[in-house]
Amino acid sequence: MNLKVEVIVTQGPIATRTAKNATTSIPIVMGFDDDPVGNGFVASLARPGRNITGLSAQRPELSGKQLEILKEIVPKLARVAVFGNNEEPGNTQNLKEVELAAKALGIKVHYLSVVSPNDIEIAFRAAAEERADALLLLGNLVLNNQRKQAVELAVKHRLPATYFHPEFIAAGGLMYYGTNYNDLFRRAATYVDKILKGAKAADLPVEQPTKFELIINLRTAQQIGLAIPPNILARADRVIR
């Protein structure tokens, strides 16, 4: 059946890649993507150059800010385990931002690449052996698909952890600081409106997030014996009790 689709809106890189492989003519609006350039969806943020545009979910400095907040929650933080994925676009830049923030804060970083589900338990054991005081997860499709396991292992090892997507907090994770995804999808509607009025996706710059949110799970904090400072709770957009 010919639906005569005028615009496609996608949620995340998997959906965007599927749409990209299906058409080079129908405009595609990304509701969000962690690394549109690295994923090969656009030539650059300023000049997408193809039939794809929309919203980027990441700003490189976010990873550093996440570590700063983690330090506020764990004042004696001296060693942090960072889980990433060497095979994912954007991982190198995000890790660089964490390392810059860690150097400024006097924190030692122990980086572990998680490229398959089998690596998750291995990474947690390595973090424990290194006596990590906390955990920071960079954007990682493997960890996202196995977020329940990741959250449970963080609690088991009593590791305060900050995650890269709010769904981890819904699964029992401790903390999320990052992009407000609801705002991205609201902004995606403006792209659809412009395209339906005649604008070309190739001419509409990809925008980065401007609204962020801090979510704290107090139930998880209690499970791992962590007291969240009152000033952090006061700044949180959402507190799960």
Domain layout of the chain by residue ranges: 8-58+180-210, 62-178+213-240
Residue 2: pLDDT band with limits 50, 70, 90: low
Q: Give the C-alpha distances (Å, rounded to integers) separating 102 from 28, 70, 81, 196, 219.
A: 38, 11, 11, 46, 27
**Which pair of structure tokens corresponds to residue 10?**
């996608």
- 8-58+180-210 and 62-178+213-240 have identical folds: yes
How many Å apart are CA 106 and CA 103, to the nearest integer?
Answer: 5
CATH classification (class only), 8-58+180-210: alpha beta
How many Å apart are CA 97 and CA 199, to the nearest integer?
Answer: 35
Q: Are 70 and 134 in contact (CB under 8 A)?
A: yes
How many Å apart are CA 133 and CA 148, to the nearest integer?
Answer: 21
Q: What is the pTM of this model?
A: 0.89
Other CB atoms closer than 10 Å to residue 44's CB: what's the count?
11
Q: Does the structural domain 62-178+213-240 have CATH classification 3.40.50.300?
A: no
pLDDT tens-digit map of 186-225:
999 999 999 999 999 999 999 999 999 999 999 999 999 9
How many Å apart are CA 221 and CA 232, to the nearest integer?
Answer: 13
Give SS3 for 198.
coil
Residue 80, pLDDT > 70, answer yes
pLDDT tens-digit map of 109-157:
999 999 999 999 999 999 999 999 999 999 888 999 999 999 999 999 9
**Which pair of structure tokens corresponds to residue 188?**
């995606």
pLDDT given for residue 104 in this prediction: 95
- Pairing mode, if any, of strands 212-217 and 79-84? unpaired
How many Å apart are CA 209 and CA 212, to the nearest integer?
Answer: 7
How many Å apart are CA 230 and CA 124, to the nearest integer?
Answer: 29
Q: Which residues pair with 239 in a beta bridge?
A: 216
How many Å apart are CA 131 and CA 77, to the nearest integer?
Answer: 11
**Which pair of structure tokens corresponds to residue 176?**
């999320």
How many Å apart are CA 199 and CA 191, to the nearest integer?
Answer: 9
